[in-house]
Chains A and B, each alone.
Chain A
Amino acid sequence: MTLTTDSAADAVAPATSGQLATFRLDGDLYGVEVAHVQEVLRSQQLTRVPLAPSAVAGLINLRGQVVTAIELRERLGRPARPEGTDAVVIVVRLDGEAVSLLVDSIADVVDVDAADFEAPPDTLEGPARDLIRGAYKLDGSLLLALDVHKAVSA
């Protein structure tokens, strides 16, 4: 089952086999390529950046390195995270630069099979359409594959 090994950078959503780090956001299950993920952190202290795009949640101090945090809920056009729940920070490394994504909670690393892949349904609308490469049909749930490059270019 070795099909394409393209990364998410490819414009035509490729069906990829491999491992996805999965996380939950507003009830849905998303996944990013394990290779991009540098680390996962608990909620961090954020320094807000006035006048920044709304999806920029702020800056975090990652062991002395300043890393931009993207609020994925905002990016995907979902409602804001309920009061009192802390975000989980997924640090991804793209082109040598670390960026972090704020999600609801982290889930397992899942092996996906390109055969289960399907392009996003035509009914998917809004900002999410650009950011989701497609869905893997898992047993009992759908795993939405996030295009990390697009997601962080807020």
Chain B
Amino acid sequence: MDGLDDIVEEFLVESHENLDQLDSDLVALEQEPNSRERLSSIFRTIHTIKGTSGFLAFNRLEEVTHVGENMLSRLRDGELALTPHRTTVLLQMVDTVRALLASIEASGGEGSVDVSAAVAAVTAAMEDAPAPAAAPVEATVEAPAEPVAAATATTTATTTATKPAAKPAAKTAPKTAAKAPAKRAPRGKAAVPAPAPVPADELIEDVTTPVPEIRSEEPTPEPTPDPALDATPDAPEQEAPAAEGTGGQPRRAVADSTIRVDVDLLDELMLLVGELVLTRNQIVQNVARQTDTDLIRASQRLNLIASELQEGVMKTRMQPIDHIWSKLPRVVRDLGANLKKSIRLEMEGRETELDKTLLEAVKDPLTHLVRNSVDHGIEAPEARKKVGKPAEGVLTLRARHESGQVVVEVADDGAGIDPQKVGAKAVERGVVTPEALARMSPQDILQMIFLPGFSTAAAVTNVSGRGVGMDVVKTNIESIGGTIEVESDPGIGTVCRLRIPLTLAIVPALTVECASDRYAIPQISLQELVSLDAEKAANAVEEVGGAQVYRLRGELLPLVRLTDVLGLTSERHDGHVVIAVLRSEGRRFGLVVDRVINTEEIVVKAVGGQLKQIGLYSGATVLGDGTVALILDVQALARRALRTETAERQESRASVSSAAAAETERQRMLLASIGGGRRVAIPLDTVTRLEQVRADAVEKVGNREVVQYRGAILPIVRLDRHLGAYGESDREVLEVIVYADSGRSVAIVVEEILDIVDGEAAVRSDIDDLGLLGSAVLGDRVTELLDVRAAILAADPAFYAGHAASSPDPATPAGVPGSYLEV
């Protein structure tokens, strides 16, 4: 079976079942020859086998089922009457089909089974009026050569020619094969190493030939059981050598080793196992408090068995991801040809298994992602050559198990996604405000491709780019409790990563306590836990514009207090902070809870409509001690908490006069002294370069100072003069901060560059002056926050004129320094 294709295997299982049904149907049909229903059922079975065999290129199988189907359709339509003889030939046809299936099962090919006689018999029975059984069958072997010639020219001829020789052997062979596919199967393999080609078959035909021969000798044979019986004595002799030849070990036939089970039944089992797991949790928890060793031992066994049972039941629903991947090479090939792209598809981890339901659910999203990559990700061959990549693009599908989830990646080595383009598009579509965009990291910006109505494709092709798509993909993935994120390196490629739970019914979760209630957080979203004692928390949890953040290994992690989200009051007063670091949509955030209880397997229970509407809970579960706990929907939580916080921040900014200050607070700042002991902080992201310029290189244009710099004229503003802090101006080398935008640059001269600091811990005051946004304590000293815009305008009043539309504050009338309006 190893060599068999999955499709063939499935076909065999299905056909064997159908054939069993067919036998009893045919016999029953004899009793009530006019049952249209039964005839239809038989017809359908044969039709199905015929269709599939044609598809799988089993030509002889197709041929024999084809004539059978013809006869059946005429019987069904009442053109022919069912006579015992016709029943016999139909059964004969069924036996031939069985023999073919057995051969396919054993060797993967049709082997040496001859179908011509069956075909002839059926054809003759169709032509003939009811006649005594013996005569016509005799005729079928000789006469049919003509009617069926077209279809079976070669085989028929051979059969007729070798008939005498074949007879003895033929008597038993096919029937035994049909009766006991398992044991006899190897023979086909031994006899016919190369199954498919007809000429090869012809040579062997005389050794093992078909059912029909027997029929012609035994005019009215018993349909099934008897031949098998009388076959038994000689069978072993024939079988033995062949069996040894193939290694002796009879394998379990496909049909015997698998069983079809209703998915509903599996669902039911899964549900029961879920309940068992819950009960197990309760018992284990209770027993932990007991001292009875026998009880403890029993509970440990229960624990083990329940886990294994759960795993086993889960396995019954598992299928390799290859089931849905196997369609994709074709998709990629066709699409690639369509778009004149050459693409190689690589697959890693195709044997990775996941729940059948989930598999079905990711099929469409995955196909969509692949189409997307082919269409938009991978460039045309010329474009690829231009940037020095091989003309052939590579699309890689990867699947693996990772901490109780399945991670599926669709990676291409295409052009990648440009965050700037995505950002611009988002602003254009009104999805995000320019201000909000400016604060987003490139990674966050990329995730916006999953927003509804968002397509970055320059052209709408018939493949994708209609603006429905990524958001649907995301919705679908989230509906099964999965997550999706995108990573992209412009010029190098894009990776879409799906994280899918192994199964829906039972999920590992972290239980936490918040305001004395317990909540479950699915572990699929959980990255790590951070616990801070009071002393540490006081330092490590910082505030940015009213929002709390924690510096996790140097990165700012926005904190969301679960109590705030839920409108509750925390009952933890000792200052300890417990943070569950969660990931949602490629962003991380920290959920502050009162305490972490433990991890346990929870069974997801649906909640009523009223609670679904709240949009914060994905369900509920019963914990080990019998109490109900709500399961937090991390995606919804992130969306709600992070968005409302952003909105609040924006509101507060609008109300505070020094609007830009709040923004600069969160940024990394360049600290510079400007003389007279004064220090200014300049947002680092407005700084293009730091340079040193010789003082004697400074020239004058009108009353402005300029310096030649990289072949251009760079206007200079001396910050000390601009801010009225006259320092010593006779230095030989000037420290210059170059700020560039849209091809224009200005140089800001400071006394000395001091440091780069994180500005978020700043304590800000409203004491300000012309050219400043305010002041703050940075590095233990009061530092002035520079109004960069005003400083730049002082150096080059026309600086923003060239691109007024994209200037930070379009409302500023031309020529009026922004500082007058902003401060």
In the complex, the chain B residue whose C-beta lies closest to that of A51 is B614
A45 at the interface (CB under 8 A from B): yes
Q: Give chain B residues whose Cβ lies under 8 Å from the Cβ of A154.
A: 610
Number of A residues with CB within 8 Å of any CB on chain B: 21
The answer to whether A65 and B605 have CB atoms under 8 Å apart is yes
Bound-complex Cα distance A51 to B611 (A): 9
Q: Which size bracket describes the interface of B in this complex?
A: 20 to 34
8 Å CB interface, A48-80 against B: 48-53, 56, 58-61, 64-66, 68
Q: Are B278 and A99 in contact (CB under 8 A)?
A: no
Q: Check A47 for interface membership: any CB of B closer than 8 A.
A: yes
A142 CB → nearest B CB, Å: 30
A97 contact set on B, CB distance < 8 A: 608
Q: A153 CA to B610 CA in the complex, in Å? A: 7
The answer, yes or no, to whether B153 is at the interface (CB within 8 Å) is no
Q: Known contacts A50-B568, A64-B275, A66-B620; is A56 also within 8 Å of B611 by CB? A: yes
Task: Given A52-B614, A59-B628, A66-B622, answer yes or no on A99-B608 (Cβ-Cβ < 8 Å).
Answer: yes
- Give the residue among B275, B567, B611, B628 with the most A Cβ atoms within 10 A: B628
Q: Which B residues touch A53, using CB under 8 A?
A: 610
Residues of A contacting B533 in the complex (Cβ-Cβ under 8 angstroms): none
- Structural contact, A52 and B610, CB atoms closer than 8 A: yes
Type the 1/0 row for B611-638, where 1 means its CB is closer than 8 Å to any CB of A.
1001011001110001111100000000
Residue from B275, B566, B567, B630 within 8 A of A47 (CB atoms): B630
Contact B608 A60 (CB under 8 A): no
Chain B interface, DSSP helix/strand/loop, else mixed? mixed
What residues on B are CB-neighbors of A60 within 8 Å?
Answer: 628
- Closest-by-CB residue of A relative to B607 is A66
- C-alpha gap A61/B523 in the complex (Å): 23
A99 cross-chain contacts in B, Cβ below 8 A? 608
Chain A nearest CB, measured from B21 CB (Å) = 35
Which residues of chain B have C-beta atoms less than 8 A from A47's C-beta?
517, 620, 627-630
Complexed CA–CA distance, A58 and B517 (Å): 12
Note all chain B residues with C-beta closer than 8 A to A64.
275, 278, 622
Q: Are B626 and A61 neighbours in the complex by a CB distance under 8 Å?
A: yes
Q: How far is the CA of A118 from the CA of B605 in the complex (A)?
A: 41
Inside 8 A of B626's CB, which chain A residues have their CB?
A: 45, 61
Chain A residues, Cβ within 8 Å of B622: 61, 64, 66
- Cβ–Cβ contact B567 & A68, under 8 A: no
Which A residue's beta carbon lies closest to that of B619? A66
Residue in chain B with minimal CB distance to A60: B628
Q: Which residue of A lies closest to B614 (CB)?
A: A51
Q: Are B611 and A61 in contact (CB under 8 A)?
A: no
A153–B620 Cα distance when bound, in Å, is 19
Q: Which of A51, A60, A65 has the most CB of B within 10 A?
A: A51
Q: Contact: A68 with B517, CB < 8 Å?
A: no
Q: How far is the CB of A120 from chain B (nearest CB, A)?
A: 25
Give per-residue flags for B267-310: 1 if the beta carbon is below 8 A from chain A beta carbons, else 0. Answer: 00000000100100000000000000000000000000000000
- Residues of the A chain whose Cβ atoms lie less than 8 Å from the Cβ of B275: 64
Known contacts A61-B628, A64-B622; A56 and B517 CB within 8 A of each other: no
A51–B610 CA distance with the chains assembled, in angstroms? 11
